Structure 1
Amino acid sequence: MRNILLVLSLLLPAALAQAQQPAPLPDARMLVNMPDVPRSVMRADMLDHMAALNEIIGDLAENKFEAAAETAEKRIGQSAMGRNAPMARGQGPGRFMPDTMRQMGWNMHGAASEFAKVAKTGDKTKALAALQQVTASCVACHMAFRTR
């Protein structure tokens, strides 16, 4: 009897904790199917975009407008488009994206190039407003689409 009570006392908290877990919310974003290589290339690009944004914000905080502009253009802007195409071996992520998703990507690259132009003026307020257009593109796409 003692053993049964001991086992129940050990299992009961776990059972209660499991019963109290809310069900995960469904993911309403559109699933975009793409092969592993292009998805990996796109993921690597997005991770680098995040790192670049972090550098840009740091540069703006230190009033290093030229550095922020250079990072934005080279790593996120129109100059960065297709830079990893050789890794995708002709199977770049863009060919698997719905038109809306592809347009969002182009908008993001364009916004980063526009930010670079604005940042070079040294006007921090305008630069931050232009940078927000870059991140708005990221947010819009990530809120609408997923690859897994």
Structure 2
Amino acid sequence: MRHALISLALLLPSPLVLAQQPVQPPTPPQDYRQLATMPELSRALMRTDMQDHLMALNEIFGHLAENNLAAASETAENRLGNSSMGKHAVMARGQGPGRFMPDAMRQLGWSMHAAASEFAEVAKEGDTAKTYSALQKVMTSCVACHMSFRTR
């Protein structure tokens, strides 16, 4: 039995040998989204917009949880809807993010802004079920764009 254990121990790699093996980092999954290249200022402006869109959506969900559809409507139109477009025109001097987006990405952005304005109108009517349905259209535009495009 003792000889069998010694033989087995000799066949197994030593912990010291294992510790000396280089550790290979895992390979990250492939990112199949299309790269939308743009100047740094345009990319920074778009990132700021995307962060504000997330905060606006969070605010909208908070208003909906309080059954305050009027406030949800106002937030949606002012921060996500058609009213929110073009706010960087002066600073960007014609170099805003939309100018550098691939056509499909730009269309998705316009769809999101239009859906947010539609949500704002539906929310004003006070029908909760229709309001949530309209919000789903906004979220669908967001998800479609973020799953299809990247800037880095």
TM-score (norm 2): 0.85
2:116 aligned with 1:108, yes or no? Answer: no
After superposition, give the CA deviation of every residue in 1:83-142 in whole Å (9 maximum; x if it has no partner): 122222220111101111000000000000000001111111111110111011010001
1:65 aligns with 69
What is the number of residues matched between the two proteins?
A: 139
Paired-residue identity, %: 61
1:69–1:117 contact (8 Å) kept in structure 2 = yes
Which one has a bigger Cα radius of gyration?
A: 2
2:84 aligns with 80
Of 100-109 and 117-126, the range deviating more from structure 2: 117-126
2:33 aligns with 29
The residue correspondences of 1:1-148 to structure 2 (distance < 5 A) are 8=16, 12=19, 15=22, 18-19=23-24, 21-148=25-152
2:5 aligns with none
SS at match of 1:25: coil
1:78–1:112 contact (8 Å) kept in structure 2 = yes
Question: Structure 2 CA distance, aligned partners of 1:57 and 1:86?
Answer: 31
> What is the Cα deviation at residue 14 of structure 1?
8.7
Q: CA RMSD in A?
A: 2.0
2:4 aligns with none
Structure 1 segments, 4+ long, off by >6 Å, are none
TM-score (norm 1): 0.87
Distance 1:14 1:97, change over 3 A: same
Question: Structure 2 CA distance, aligned partners of 1:76 and 1:125?
Answer: 20
Question: Structure 1 CA distance, aligned partners of 2:77 and 2:142?
Answer: 16
1:41–1:87 contact (8 Å) kept in structure 2 = no
What letter is aligned with 1:28?
Y
Q: Which runs of 5+ in 2 are unaligned?
A: 1-13
Question: Structure 1 CA distance, aligned partners of 2:88 and 2:56?
Answer: 16
Question: Structure 1 CA distance, aligned partners of 2:35 and 2:50?
Answer: 17
SS at match of 1:120: helix
1:78–1:113 contact (8 Å) kept in structure 2 = yes
